[in-house]
A and B are shown apart, each in its own frame.
Chain A
Amino acid sequence: MTETTVHTHAAPQAQTQAPAQTHQQHPIGLYLAVWILLFVLSTFSYLVDYVGLQGYLRWSLILIFMMLKAGLIVAIFMHMAWERLALIYAILLPPLLVLVFVALMVSESNYVLFSRLTFFGAAP
């Protein structure tokens, strides 16, 4: 948690008018490490297809590598790891509702497929 509170009040002719912002300043080495990690993870997820894994192993590996990559980008590159909890929750919790939508549409899609197969005949 970098809580560097640089108080520059809005005095006339002040150099910066920013009210107490934290500047996200982190060592370059961290970015390079994450960069390399993202490369490795992307290679792994490409290899999942290249090797031709199928079924649940394929899907779970795709999801694991995807979540790891997304987590690294959001946490390090977008600096979410150093933000206060108020912002983290405001931004990261609402997308979880998309999962509810996914669940609804999975159920709906199964029903549509069932209807198609029942009333329009099987696939050619």
Chain B
Amino acid sequence: MSAETHSPVREPLHRPAGLAGFASDWASDQRTFKNVSWGKAMMWIFLLSDTFVFGCFLIAYMSARMSTAVPWPNPSEVFALHIGGSDVPLILIAIMTFVLITSSGTMAMAVNYGYRHDRRKTALLMLITALFGATFVGMQAFEWTKLISEGVRPWGNPWGAPQFGSTFFMITGFHGTHVTIGVIFLLIIARKVWRGDFDTGKAGFFTSRKGQYEIVEITGLYWHFVDLVWVFIFAFFYLW
């Protein structure tokens, strides 16, 4: 099995754009996503399935919150931090949001430098992204510790509806897991970029196929998705 098993298809140079292109792409032979590699297409489809997972979590949260006869704890107060003698509402969550957005920005730039084959900058920006991601997870761990010490449990809490704890741990826990996996993924790819695997055509450890700088963009897709999910969690769980 060599890497050349895919048949070299000579594509027509003029592919229709817009809706006509949509129809012809989907009606065509062999591949639907004409200018997207299988790796990128599969990452998108994985992200689509992950969208449904998080969609179900948020719907479960909505159902729990809408159907409870007990008042829901006010997230603005629950997640307030005592800074300088007064309670600042949601401040830790706001900082976490900014950290994650910043990591998304550095990731987008890493993708850009990846395609320019600037190994140093790509690897460095990916490491910075991973660092911000780790910071985010660390702040989440702090938040969990704080809430657990205040008596929040999956089956109850001091302020109101008992479902608050279970949905909180479920949703933020699953998101934190995604961030953690993303950090590991970033570190692995950053190491490969740093070593120059994609310039020398070194075989990967799992598929034994030669990698390309496109993997940086695919990693980026995953990372931006993690940020995207946080946008929804921030809006629905923390702000609502």
Contacts and interface: CB of A to CB of B under 8 A. Distances in A.
A65 B4 CA distance: 46
Interface residues of B, dominant DSSP = helix
Chain B interface size range: 35 or more
Interface string A23-48: 11110100110110011001001101
Interface stretch (B138-146, B167-175, B227-235): B227-235
B104 to A, nearest CB: 6
B67 A84 contact: no
Contacts of A10: 3-4, 6, 8
B83 interface: no
Contact of B235 (A7, A22, A62): A62
B210 interface: yes
B32 interface: yes
Interface string B24-48: 0110000011111100110011011
B76 interface: yes
B193 interface: no
B197 interface: no
Contacts of A57: none
5 closest residue pairs by CB, A with B: A86-B25, A109-B66, A35-B105, A112-B67, A85-B22
